[in-house]
Amino acid sequence: MHFENWISYRYLTASKGRFLAFLNFISIAGIAIGVAALIIVIGIMTGFGNNIREKIIGTTPHILIEKEVGVKDFDQVREQLMTVEGVKGASAYVQGNVFLENTSQAIGILVRGVDPALEHQVTKVNQYMVEGNFSDLKDDGVVIGKELARYFGYKLGDTITLISPGSGLAGEGWRYNLTIKGVFSSGMIDYDTQLVLVNIKKAQTIFNLNDNTSTGVGVRLSDPYKAQEVKESIYRVLGYGFLVKTWIDINHNLFEALFLEKWGLFIVLTLMVIIASFSIVSALIVMVTTKTHDIGILKSIGATNKSIRKIFVKQGLWIGTLGTFWGLVIGVGLGYILKTYVKVPQEIYSIEHVPIEIHAFDVCTIVLAAFIISYVATIYPSIKAANLQPVEALRYE
């Protein structure tokens, strides 16, 4: 062990000087609390973000292929899409806005016509069913969201009335009485309140489309995060007469907001670690002041300014390392407790526990930031110690 390491460790662990020991403890605790807070908050933000992504790509296809006049011969288009590398499944859909009439009021909802036999290839709606069976979606059957059912008090077997604006004579619209065959819960309030699923044949009737025409074709990918690459491949196969939108394009603003919020919190909490690092500066300055005599002796026997500087830099790094280590232990430990034992209101978030996800990259970034801050905090005190002259240090001894 180099003598700089030995002396810096001795200064940190010396039993004499309770005030110095207290300052060291405060410095370590400050860094530990800041690192733990960063790990927990970033983990929660990552978990909630991924949870939202899973719900979005579980309710809607990863890629939507549409055309202004509708996709004609959609079975042929579907077959072409299945040849594209990365495409796992494809299914046509018919989608549009209608009114849901209930007693004396009417609200606007989104009707999506799907093929019950193929829909499981592109979405997870069949897995979100809480009542009924998705395969019963045929003829005049309809599947509605849990929140919509709760709002109007609908139950399985009840009849709902949909009004398609402008599809009747003189633009008066047609009424369609449908029977509730199932209720789904995606965990996304917008979908559970506004989305209604019917058989694709029924949707073609509601929106006055031919049997071989759909609004678009939905695609599910093997890797949803390669959507942009697959999008370009789809354009090469189908041509540029189609409008191809990925789930990232559709929810771009939401993901940008989540990204900015996550890194905004990272910056704010990093400032907390910087504030905690001031206690390292204070501890080292007090240490330099109390160890003036020791510094004078070390210099008089040949210790260089660089060696003196190293002693106090390494002492500060010892404090930073201990604080970072305990912050890492506390952060990961609390993260596990939150994820495993702490429950959240399921009726609000549609999850039982806090969706915290601690990723290695985030942890490494936090640890690196803590080390850099700890090192910067040692610069001034170490330079101050190195600049002491032996004669001045020993003048009053």
pLDDT one digit per residue (tens) for the chain, 397 residues: 476 667 766 666 664 557 777 777 888 888 898 899 889 988 888 888 777 777 777 788 899 998 888 888 888 988 899 989 999 999 999 998 898 888 767 888 999 999 888 888 888 888 888 888 888 888 889 999 988 998 888 999 889 988 887 554 444 458 888 999 999 988 777 788 889 999 999 998 888 888 888 998 999 998 888 888 999 999 988 888 889 998 888 877 777 777 787 778 788 878 878 887 777 787 777 777 666 666 677 766 777 777 777 877 888 888 888 889 999 999 999 988 888 887 766 656 666 677 888 888 888 988 898 888 888 888 888 887 777 666 565 554 5
Q: What angle do CA 61, 241, 57 make, to 5 degrees?
A: 10
d(CA 133, CA 123): 15
Closest CA to 331 of 358, 361, 365, 369: 358
Please report the pLDDT score of residue 396 as a whole number: 47
- Backbone dihedral region for residue 94 (phi beyond 0: left; psi -120 to 50: alpha; all else: beta): beta
Please report the pLDDT score of residue 291 as a whole number: 66
Please report the pLDDT score of residue 12 as a whole number: 67
Please report the pLDDT score of residue 11 as a whole number: 67
**Residue 268 is encoded by which pair of tokens?**
């704010």
Domain chopping of the chain, boundaries:
3-55+254-393, 87-221
Contact between 355 and 63 under an 8 Å Cβ cutoff? The reply is: no
- Residue 112's φ and ψ, nearest 5 degrees, are -125, 120
pTM > 0.85: yes or no? no
Contact between 284 and 26 under an 8 Å Cβ cutoff? The reply is: no
Quick one: how far is CA 53 from the chain centroid?
8
Residue pointed to by tokens 């930073």: 320
Residue 300 to residues 284, 352, 391, 395: CA-CA distances in angstroms?
A: 22, 66, 9, 12
Please report the pLDDT score of residue 183 as a whole number: 92
Where would I find the H helices in the chain? 3-13, 18-59, 74-81, 146-152, 189-194, 200-206, 227-238, 247-250, 252-290, 292-300, 305-340, 346-349, 360-386, 390-393
